[in-house]
Structure 1
Amino acid sequence: MLTFNGSFFMPSLFTLVGIPGLEPVQCWIGIPFCAMYIIAVTGNSLILVIIKKENSLHIPMYIFLAMLAATDMALSTCILPKMLGIFWFHWPEISFDACLLQMGLIHSFQATESGILLAMALDRYVAICNPLRHATIFSQKLLTHLGVGVTLRAAILVLPTLLLIKCRLKLYQTTVISHSYCEHMAIVKLAAENIRVNKIYGLFVAFAILGFDIIFITMSYVRIFVTVFQLPQKEARVKAFNTCVAHICVFLPFYLLAFFSFFTHRFGSHIPPYVHILLSNLYLLVPPFLNPIVYGVKTKEIRRHAWKMFVSSPNS
């Protein structure tokens, strides 16, 4: 690694601190994080198995749920193994390329999850506000296009952030990242030059994905609730409302934690660093942990098939 006037030129290694200010208790913080990860992987795997096994669940609502479960598992797996390596085994070093790869995967899966939540909101909007055309609109072809579309959108928007860091940021003030994983702004702030374009593009990507999606999700649910309260039958209102509540319980934690993490990391200079990092960690760990629990509790079909899988005897 070359040094130049106290700076580092094209470093080959970075060092992840973990949670600045909480280093003495990181080993204990890793225990609930590990438990959340185990529950997330187990719960989301169970949802994937149930949806794959039951032909009656091969409909848009549950296909989107399967996509969400797969994304959640990938997102939490990108962050937690390395984080526990820092907390428990004192393995803070990560190569420059591996750091960029982790950053790219994390932000790509975040963007993909946001796109899936938007697709789920649009699916519920059509199912409740225009039920007679739902099967026609949400065809297998459209589901494929939506899946490919949200994945490509994430890749197209996140890839330039990797190229800007790789090609433009050559000189770094330090190689110590005050974070528990490789996050875009945490890396950019280490650089000694050419950081303005990276910061501006990072803001653009955040607003282009989260801002765009939350606007259309909010519009969809406003229209959904107006339609639900106009339904003449009480049973239909209750069924539609329960379905919407499950979705709201999923996307609210995701977007609330995203915006808290985003704004505290960029504008909360007076907030202690460990608050920034804990919010960022919770943003990536809570939704994958919470989503299978919410759908297991609020969705009767998932609950019924899970019960049948574990309780019913083979001959019943």
Structure 2
Amino acid sequence: MTTVLIQRYAAFSTTPDGGNPAGVVLDAGDLTDDQMQHIAADIGYAETAFLTRFRADGEPRRGRIRYFSPVAEVPFCGHATIATAVALAARDGLGAFTFETGIGDITLATAESDGYVGASFTSVEPSIDEMPYEVLAELLELLGLSAADLRADYPHRFVYAGNTHPLLVLREPERFDSFTFDPDELRARMNRRNWPATVIVARVISPTEFEARNLFPVGSISEDPATGAAAAAFGGYLRALHLIHPPADVVIHQGRHVGRPSRIAVHVPEAGGIVVSGTAVEIQAPLS
């Protein structure tokens, strides 16, 4: 296999042991699909980002990016996008970057604040859709929950901002903390339903502050510590159902249940894509 430099970043965190780890390969132009899939599986993170083309079309800060989980390519990954932008800022300097993704162009801004480098991206146009009863019943059974555990004022929906996510919002913090699931069974159902990304289970802390558990069983992973695409989709959901008054700033906490706490900042404008922001810090590669 072609020798490539693999970097590792924790996104949506200011410490390497928080947030969501992502693999980043900034020079992946010579890699085949099978090689990228092999690297992603070997790293074992939820996703690894591969910059397959850079300085595209004569633009020095534009490139093509692809994302692979340990088992398959995914259309978009928010935390790996943030990580790649921060890695590029370290190499090429702060400023804006544009990534050509499987869901369209994503432009990011990078900046330094309080000694940490962060990035923000604007999602594609978000949308929501009704969740059929049989899908809801299936999810509740898998998670050991009932309809009585759900908040009626935050109705269950499919939400989208690059990837489609089923979303449930629970009433009680105790149920949010205590529900469990069989990762293999959930993965089988997700594959059957063709859900490429996470299942979102959330709770309300305040009208503009939430905590989320993003279920994503793949390999040794059961829950995603921080999910930028899901955060964008959640922001679109809040706007579409008039649960906030845009423009509004929302904070989503995630990762506590897997020991990697994260903080995702979400700006919800009156119209258009949702802005997701966070820091990323490099993780020292394991010794070989």
Q: TM-score, normalised by structure 1?
A: 0.25
Higher relative contact order (CA 8 A, sep 6+): 1
When you count strand as a share of all residues, which structure comes out higher? 2
Q: TM-score, normalised by structure 2?
A: 0.27
When you count helix as a share of all residues, which structure comes out higher? 1
